[in-house]
Amino acid sequence: MRCNARGPRPGAGVKLLAIDTTEDACSAALAIDGEIAERFALAPRRHSELILPMMDGLLADAGLALTALDALAFARGPGAFTGLRIAASVVQGAAFGSGLPVVPVSSLHALAQGCLDGVGSGAVLSAFDARMGEVYWGAFRSDAGGIMRPVGDESVAAADAVALPDGAGWRGAGSGWKTYAAALAARCPTAEPPLADAMVHAAAVARLGGVLFAEGRAVDAERALPVYLRDDVAWAKA
C-alpha cells in the first residue's frame, strides 16, 4: 500500500530513506525536502521478503539512485527481536554499499510521532508488548515545531510498574496498551482512550530521521545496531 504524508519538514533539502520492521508491520518511506512517500503492509513474518522491494519501489518512483540520498534511517528498537535484526542488517547493507550515514530512530519515539502526525496527540506514552508481563516503555511530548521529544529514558518494565512522567494530557499508544490494558490504565490514568492499535510507520521514522540527521545524530554503518533494552539479549547479540 502507498500513501503520502505531510507535516513538519524533516530537514531542509534532506533526501532520506527510512525503514521499519519493529512489530508485525513492515514499511519504507522516502523523504525529499519534507515530502514523504510511504509503502506499508501489515505482514507478520514477511519483513525480509517485502522490505527491499518497498525500498527499491520508492526510489524507482522518485527516479533516484540510493547514492543520491543524504542518509538512511531505521527503527532501531525496542521491539520484536527478529524484526529489529532484519531492519539493522538491511540498513547496514544499504549503507555499506552506498557509503551513506545511518540515523537510528527509537521505535517508541516513531510510534509517538505517528500519533501526533495522525491524530494530533501531543503527549504519548508509547508501550510495546515485551512479553512476560512487561512492556517496552517511553514518554514523548511535542515541541513547538511539531516534533515529539523524549521525556525521560526508555525502559522495559512490568506493566504495573512503568515510570510515570510529569505533566498532564498523556495518551497511551501501542500494543502494550492492548495486552496489558488494565494494568497500564491503573498505573497511568489518561484522559483519552489509548491508541492500542497504533503501529510504527516508516513515514514517522523518516520525519524524525531528518530532524536527527540535521542535529548531527547520524552514525556509520557499523554502528547502526538494534536496541533491545533487555540487557541479556543485547549481550548475547553483541
Task: Report the C-alpha gap between 103 and 72 in whole angstroms.
Answer: 6
Q: Do 116 and 93 have their domain in common?
A: no
Task: Report the C-alpha gap between 130 and 56 in whole angstroms.
Answer: 31
**Using one digit for the tens of pLDDT, what is the confidence trace for 136-151?**
999 999 999 999 999 9
Residue 95 lies in a domain: yes
- Say whether pLDDT at 63 is over 70: yes
Residue 193 lies in a domain: no
Residue 194 lies in a domain: no
Q: Do 48 and 130 have their domain in common?
A: no
Tally of domains in the chain: 2
Q: Do 96 and 113 have their domain in common?
A: no
Q: Please state the pTM of the whole predicted model.
A: 0.92
pLDDT of residue 34: 87
- Say whether pLDDT at 181 is over 90: yes
Q: How confident is the model at residue 129 (pLDDT cuts 50, 70, 90)?
A: very high
Range of the domain at 64: 2-107+200-237
Q: Do 204 and 103 have their domain in common?
A: yes
Residue 192 lies in a domain: no
pLDDT of residue 235: 31
Q: Length of the chain, please?
A: 238
Q: Do 11 and 95 have their domain in common?
A: yes
Query: Residue 165 is placed in which grid cell?
Result: 512522567
Mean pLDDT computed over 210-219 = 97
